Amino acid sequence: MGVCVLTRDDPLTRAHAHLVEEVGAHPYPLIFITVSGAHLYGFPSADSDFDLRGAHVVPAREVLGLRTVRETIENKIRRAGLEIETVTHDLRKYVRLLLNWNGYVLEQLYSPLVIHTTTEHEELKRLGHGCITSADSLHYLGFAHNEWKLLEKKPSLKRLLYVYRVLLTGIHLMRTGEVEANLVRLNEEYKLPQVPDLIAQKVNGTEWAESAGDLSFHRSEDERLCGELEAAAEASTLPKTVSSEDGLNEFVIRTRLGPMGSR
CATH number for the domain harbouring residue 77: 3.30.460.10
- The answer as to whether 185 is a domain residue is yes
Are residue 145 and residue 15 in the same domain, yes or no? no
Q: What pLDDT band is residue 13 in, cutting at 50, 70 and 90? A: confident
Tens of pLDDT along 169-193?
A: 999 999 999 999 999 999 999 999 9
Are residue 23 and residue 125 in the same domain, yes or no? yes
Q: How far is CA 179 from CA 51, 110, 173, in A?
A: 18, 7, 6
- The answer as to whether 99 is a domain residue is yes
Residue 208 has pLDDT above 70, yes or no: no
Instruction: Note down the domain range covering 226.
Output: 136-235
**One-letter amino acid for residue 144 of the chain:** A
Are residue 101 and residue 188 in the same domain, yes or no? no
Are residue 114 and residue 27 in the same domain, yes or no? yes
Ramachandran region, residue 35 (left: φ > 0; alpha: ψ -120 to 50; beta: rest) = beta
Are residue 101 and residue 167 in the same domain, yes or no? no
**Assessment of whether the complete model's pTM goes beyond 0.75:** yes
Q: Please tell me the number of Cα atoms within 13 Å of 194 on its side-chain side.
A: 16
Cβ atoms of 157 and 211 closer than 8 Å = yes
Are residue 121 and residue 162 in the same domain, yes or no? no
Are residue 62 and residue 86 in the same domain, yes or no? yes
Q: Which residue has the higher pLDDT, 144 or 12?
A: 144
Beta carbons within 8 Å of 83's beta carbon, 6+ residues apart: 49, 50, 76, 77
Are residue 197 and residue 70 in the same domain, yes or no? no
- The answer as to whether 121 is a domain residue is yes
DSSP for 72-103?
A: EEEEEEEETTEEEEEEEEEHHHHHHHHTTT-H
- The answer as to whether 85 is a domain residue is yes
Tens of pLDDT along 48-85?
A: 999 999 999 999 999 999 999 999 999 999 988 889 99
Q: Please tell me the number of Cα atoms within 13 Å of 245 on its side-chain side.
A: 9
Are residue 127 and residue 140 in the same domain, yes or no? no
Alpha carbon distance 176, 185 (integer Å): 14
- The answer as to whether 5 is a domain residue is no
- The answer as to whether 151 is a domain residue is yes
Domain count along the chain: 2
Are residue 105 and residue 21 in the same domain, yes or no? yes
